[in-house]
Amino acid sequence: MANLIDIRRRIRSVKNTQQITKAMKMISAARLRRAQDRILAARPYAQEIKKVIGNLAARGERLHHPLLEKRPENKVLLAVVTGDKGLAGAFNANVLRRSNQAVAKLPSVELLLLGRKGADFFRRRSYPIRNSYTTLFTNVQYAQAQEIAADLIRAYTEKQLDSVHVVYNQFKSLMSQELTEEVLLPVPTTTAEGGEAGAREYLFEPSAESILEELLPRYVTFQVYRILLESQAAEHAARMTAMDSATRNASEMIDRLTLRYNRARQAAITTQLIEVVSGANALEG
């Protein structure tokens, strides 16, 4: 009988867990829809401003700007973008693993931690931390990206840093998040794709230098904002997938425990019947 009580208690516990995972899946699905709309709306602008900067840098042969200056990577800032919460499968673990590999390869590294999980992980290790943000992904705002980008731009122009690398999860689809490592500073100057685009001539008004002076800080700020949105959408997608898998696993476990409970109950009933019959036969004998 004690075995039946234990099995019944486990079934009740798994059902309670299943209700939690199902609720978390629904919450992540609702948040994912909003986060997906935001990142899909932000990507075209990020791509176009990158294309414009590439064309400007390619046409202006004597253009110089501190954010375009490439230097030997003696002092590198690694921005690690994780989530604020867990229960998202391998979402955070993949970023932390790639970050550890990047730290081992780079010469002198300073960390910028965006997300509570990354902050908790690296705070227990002996790496220099420039800054950490632990409540970014409750609601990603452009003002937060401006604050982060302003600090990076100032540090790079004052030559406190030689480059800025970012490790984050890029949102691809509901079932796919791509682990990405890219260079944020110096600003890449890739030109537009296609031979015709590369052969065009441009007239700059008021001047290419003035346009770059306005566009480059805006580019860095918006890239930080895009990366935060990418990570937020990828986190919700990963958590939704993980909770859906956990809900299915709970259903399978409930089925197995129910089958085990029924077998144990039937065996207990059979044992009781045998005892009753044996007692009756003993009395007759």
Structural domains for the chain: 22-241 (3.40.1380.10)
Rg (CA), the chain: 29
pLDDT over 50 (residue 195): no
Contact predicate 152/17, CB 8 Å: no
Separation between Cα atoms, residue 142 and residue 12, nearest integer Å: 45
pTM for this model (two decimals): 0.84
Looking at residue 78, its amino acid is L
Task: Report d(CA 216, CA 153) in Å as an integer.
Answer: 10
Q: How far apart are the first and last CA of the chain?
A: 30
CB 166 within 8 A of CB 184: yes
The confidence band for 55, taking pLDDT boundaries of 50, 70 and 90, is confident
pLDDT tens, position by position, 235-282:
999 999 999 999 999 999 999 999 998 988 888 888 888 888 888 787
